[in-house]
Amino acid sequence: MNIPAPQTPQPSSSTDSPGVYTVGTLTYTKMGLVSLFAWLLWGDFCFQVMESLNPAIIHLKLRSLDAPNWAIALIMVTLPGILNMTICPWVSFKSDRHRGPLGRRIPFILYTLPFLTASLLLLGFSEQIGRALHGILPSSWGMSISAVTIICIGVFMVSFKFFDMFVNSVFWYLFNDVVPHNFLGRFMGLFRIVSSFESMLFGFFIFKYAESHMTEIYVGAALVYAIGMGLMCWKVKEGEYPPPPESEGGRTGLIAEVKVYMVECYSKPYFWNLFLCTAFWAIAGTLGVFNVFLQKSIGLDLAQIGMISGAVSFMNMMLTYPAGALGDRFHPLRVLLWVKVINLFFLPLGLIWLFFDFAPATAFYVSICITAVNLPFAVLTEAMMLPMYMRVLPLERYGQFCSANALVRSVATIAGGFVGGLFMDMMKHLYNGSDYAYRFIPLWSIFWSAIALFFLWRLYQDWKRLPQHD
């Protein structure tokens, strides 16, 4: 098996003199570095405000409109998966090769900002727009207000995800271009803390109003994103880049490049073990869009659900640094394997709702206990994933293999979203439309997580056989 051994990245940044830091053609003083971190983290906060709305609120609105589960899965999982599989690789390719006065990453964020903001506003006013459109449609069409609104939400969601893919594709690359590499670890730690802080605020203070004040929440998020991200794009400067490559793999032409890409990425069992374990994890999580319905079926209200979500975000914030240190000490692949093995024994705790109907107050505390047991495994998994990719994939073609992994994961997400939606509809039918059907979500997750663990174990065995592994 001819697989390049993982290598230790050599940072392209250095300290030229005390208190001066460089990356590429960019140079920072200590105060300049503080300013850079502040604006990037502020941009992350605004980005997370925008991202936290979907699916947290939209699927509640779809449910209130009596949308079938297959339609919810189509709008929230399948269509975004298709866009992710097509738009993200193209945007990543074009961004790497773009050269302009604003850099190669910021233009993709800045120029899509008006369209992404408009999509958020349309989603916020989707119910009002659906009602207005219903009033002008011919009565012969026989469509209800709810059906028209569901269609509007679907169209607006596609618009939102289309422009969101531009930002999601390049926002993460920006850090590697503008942050001195000897500070990347600390910056990513702060990045996760800011993300968790935003999730905590959303869970504690906003989510309980998701059903009653959807329009106000979306308008507020749109303003925060437009102003905040606009300021970040203005304040953060990219450096100069070398000319983009004219060809890939020593060959020219789209067909030749695609052939090289396919052969290099998809002809080795080693890489397929990684692709398949992440794909099956993606399938295991496809029914996550219905988790709020599971929580409501056991008697929790939105305020309690928000409190649990906020507490999870707070603990996530506290555990991020220790989790990262554990991966640095014992290797992220080893840690991830043990985490997934142990976690598989605790996941069946979620099946308790199939056998017991607790009083709402008791269900709240039982739910807290189950969440507390599984939370450390979730934190460790999130902390290990990106470092694991960096350590097991060839350094010189890291982006190529990451995109190949994303393509396989997107296909799995599309299929899993469709089949998962049908599974939930089947269970709803078996239980005469009762929300009890959502209590089978943990069973779905356990089944696919076990398959993912099998391929993770195979990846670990292949990795140990590499000529050099660390």
pLDDT tens per residue, range 438-457: 888 889 999 999 999 999 99
Q: What contacts 390, CB < 8 A, 6 or more positions away?
A: 6, 9, 398
Helices (H), 241-397: 254-266, 269-284, 291-297, 302-330, 332-346, 360-392
Q: Please list the residue range(s) of the chain that carry CATH number 1.20.1250.20.
A: 24-240
* Alpha-carbon torsion angle 9, 13, 14, 17, nearest 10: -170
Q: Please give the pLDDT value at position 285.
A: 87
Tokens for 452, please give them: 């993912």
Q: Is the pLDDT of residue 23 over 80?
A: no
Residue 470: band (very low, low, confident or very high) from pLDDT cuts 50, 70, 90: low
Q: Please give the pLDDT value at position 7.
A: 43
- Rounded CA separation 446/444 (Å): 6
- Rounded CA separation 81/414 (Å): 5
CATH code assigned to 253-470: 1.20.1250
Instruction: Spell out the SS3 assignment of 218-272.
Output: HHHHHHHHHHHHHHHHHHCCCCCCCCCCCCECCECCHHHHHHHHHHHHHCCHHHH
**Which class for 66: exposed (0-12), middle (13-18), buried (19 or more C-beta within 10 A)?**
exposed
Partners of residue 20 on adjacent β-strands = 17, 29
Average pLDDT over residues 279-283: 92
Average pLDDT over residues 91-108: 82
What is the helix (H) or strand (E) element at residue 27, kind and residue range?
strand 26-29
Check if the beta carbon of residue 219 is closer than 8 Å to that of residue 51: no
The mean pLDDT value of the chain amounts to 82
Asked if the peptide bond before residue 467 counts as cis, ω within 30 degrees of 0, the response is no
One-letter amino acid for residue 458 of the chain: R
Check if the beta carbon of residue 279 is closer than 8 Å to that of residue 409: yes
Which is higher by pLDDT, 180 or 40?
40
Q: What percent of the chain has pLDDT over 70?
A: 87
Partners of residue 248 on adjacent β-strands = 251
Strand arrangement of the beta sheet that strand 20-23 belongs to: 13-17, 20-23, 26-29
CATH code assigned to 24-240: 1.20.1250.20
- Rounded CA separation 77/422 (Å): 13
244-248, 255-259, 271-275: which range is least confident on average?
244-248
Q: Please give the pLDDT value at position 297.
A: 84
127-141, 167-181, 236-250, 275-289: which range is least confident on average?
236-250
Q: Please give the pLDDT value at position 396.
A: 52
What is the helix (H) or strand (E) element at residue 22, kind and residue range?
strand 20-23
Nearest C-alpha neighbor of 289 from the set 375, 198, 417: 417
Average pLDDT over residues 238-265: 67
Backbone angles phi, psi at 15, to 5 degrees: -100, 110
Residue 254: band (very low, low, confident or very high) from pLDDT cuts 50, 70, 90: low
Neighbours of 150 (CB within 10 A): 23
7-11, 28-32, 260-264: which range is least confident on average?
7-11
Neighbours of 325 (CB within 10 A): 12
